[in-house]
Amino acid sequence: MSITGIGTDLVKIDRIQRLIHRYGERFTGKIFTLNEIAYCSKRAAPEVHFAGRFAAKEAIAKAAYQTGWMQVIPWRDIEVSSDDYGRPSVQLLTKIPGVCHVSISHDGEYALAFAIWETDHA
């Protein structure tokens, strides 16, 4: 496996908060999977975690396009889930070759994500 794509994205949390207040489930349901909505909604400040996952999706898409992937990836085709320790991982409905890793951070006004794509070169 070798690294064939990297991507990063920075999101202002209050932008996501405004979209949630204005559009509610019309926004969250368009962008996030049911599992992501369940994870974020049960947190004390859901908008922080929605913003982190929003950044993650953008970072993952950037990393995928760097590998040479040419098709648009629908938002809900990317799912970021968390294990019992809080570690995020990526599940994709769009079958893009390789494996994607993601890291998320949030502090103050911003959420940030970084993604790496690894591809097996036969």
Ligand X SMILES: CC(C)(COP(=O)(O)OP(=O)(O)OC[C@H]1O[C@@H](n2cnc3c(N)ncnc32)[C@H](O)[C@@H]1OP(=O)(O)O)[C@@H](O)C(=O)NCCC(=O)NCCS
Q: Give the DSSP letter string of 32-99.
A: S-HHHHHHHHTSSSHHHHHHHHHHHHHHHHHHHHHTT--S---GGGEEEEE-TT--EEEEESS--SSE
Cβ closest to ligand X, residue 86 vs residue 122: 86
Chain centroid to Cα 30, Å, comes to 13
Examine residue 104 and tell whether it contacts ligand X (CB under 6 A).
yes
Tell the smallest beta-carbon distance from residue 102 to ligand X (Å).
8
Examine residue 62 and tell whether it contacts ligand X (CB under 6 A).
no
**Which range, of 1-9, 12-20, 64-72, 78-86, touches ligand X by CB under 6 A?**
78-86
Q: Which of 2, 22, 70, 86 binds ligand X (CB under 6 A)?
A: 86
